[in-house]
Amino acid sequence: MWLEILLASVLGFVIYWFVSKDKEETLPLEDGWWGPGVRPTAGEDKSIRPFKVETSDEEINDLHQRIDRVRLTPPLEDSRFHYGFNSNYLKKIISYWRNEFDWRKQVEILNKYPHFKTKIEGLDIHFIHVKPPNLPSGQTPKPLLMVHGWPGSFYEFYKIIPFLTDPKNHGLSDEHVFEVICPSIPGYSFSEASSKKGFNSVATARIFYKLMLRLGFQKFYIQGGDWGALICTNMAQLVPSHIKGLHLNTALILRNFYTLTLPLGRCFGGLFGYTERDMELIYPFKKIFFSLLRESGYLHIQSTKPDTVGCALNDSPVGLAAYILEKFSTWTNSEFRDLEDGGLERKFSLDDLLTGIMLYWTTGTITSSQRFYKENLGQVNKHEMLKVYVPTGFAAFPCELMHLPEKWLKTKYPNLISYSYMPRGGHFAAFEEPELLAQDIRKFVGLQERQ
């Protein structure tokens, strides 16, 4: 007992020393060129061009032919989703994809919001830009940049956008009305992939900052989950004076001695600032640890040799679907691995899920999207050591892969003004629970603007 108290005291001192010695720093803005070859001497074309998603009979016929030639391995008895995507349920998805899924209709849905492209640092950057359809008199919309992650896309935001741009017609107050910009990370869907090594989250953050300036926004809000959370965090570290507020639903916190409290947290949770809800979501830690271990195999592959697995996934639409949709199962709720169908249709429609797959398949971007892991992980990055001082809000969804207590977040984001325990939802928050996430963004913006 006394040894545990001594250890807790020493650990508390170490945490205090570690946290208190930080200085407020920013990342250098710098510049880059990620297009093929040498950077041209002529200035970059800064025009913003309308873009439209298109398809063709040839594209659809090729997909169908590849689906028709699929080879599946029967699953083990009673394996459900514990060995990965269950091929018995995959047969249902294949049948729907081949015989009922209407890609032309989904392309029309994709085009319901305005799409654009513009050249930045040698790359053609794709984004959607949605303005409020019914702006209240005398009100100015708040610019909001929303950034997706892997294996997602800009399409994940389609259901949350109405709650942000047209709240009154979707059951919310019109106190806060947003103008929403959703870019595609370079190498994902319609944004051109880098031709050079080293294209990481900081380079992406700088490009998206330049995009917002090009659109005429000097100050704006930003929101992200997964890679989007890191990119938005980097933006706040690069140009904090331009960021009105940062809202996240996941975060990467590496410099955090609070993780050392986990063995003692069960006995001394209150001492370390854990709430009862934190304790429910963190413990038993052994269960959480092994769940993270099971769900992180892809991370090692994509952080080391992404091109190898990319060759297989870019050649097989069914393989691509199994690889990606398995994440939409267990990252939505880890207990879905106990179900024969992975629980996929409990939260999402097959049309929505397959539209996400098609954005990787038709653009051939699965390999370039996976390279983002290799460029960001496996080396020490300066941004990991820097705090973020812009006003920050966080939505803690209970089925996220790893729960982050408020105390942990404040070591990285000391100006955390809003922290919410969300009632339900997992990793793909905007896609799964758009109204809940929109409400939390609005809550955060309200708190920030009243400061």
Among residues 89, 176, 209, 226, the one annotated as catalytic is 226
HEC string of the chain equals: CHHHHHHHHHHHHHHHHHHHCCCCCCCCCCCCCCCCCCCCCCCCCCCEEEECCCCCHHHHHHHHHHHHCCCCCCCCCCCCCCCCCCHHHHHHHHHHHHHCCCHHHHHHHHCCCCEEEEEECCEEEEEEEECCCCCCCCCCCEEEEEECCCCCCHHHHCCCHHHHHCHHHHCCCCCCCEEEEEECCCCCCCCCCCCCCCCCHHHHHHHHHHHHHHCCCCCEEEEECCHHHHHHHHHHHHCHHHEEEEEECCCCCCCCHHHHHHHHHHHHCCCCCCCHHHHHHHCCHHHHHHHHHHHCHHHHHHHHCHHHHHHHHHHCHHHHHHHHHHHHHHCCCHHHHHCCCCCHHHHCCHHHHHHHHHHHHCCCCHHHHHHHHHHHCCCCCHHHHCCCCCCEEEEECCCCCCCCCHHHHHHHCCCEEEEEECCCCCCCHHHHCHHHHHHHHHHHHHHHHHC
158 is catalytic: no
413 is catalytic: no
Among residues 115, 126, 148, 427, the one annotated as catalytic is 427
129 is catalytic: no
Among residues 155, 258, 323, 373, the one annotated as catalytic is 373
Q: Indicate which residues carry an active-site annotation.
A: 226, 373, 427
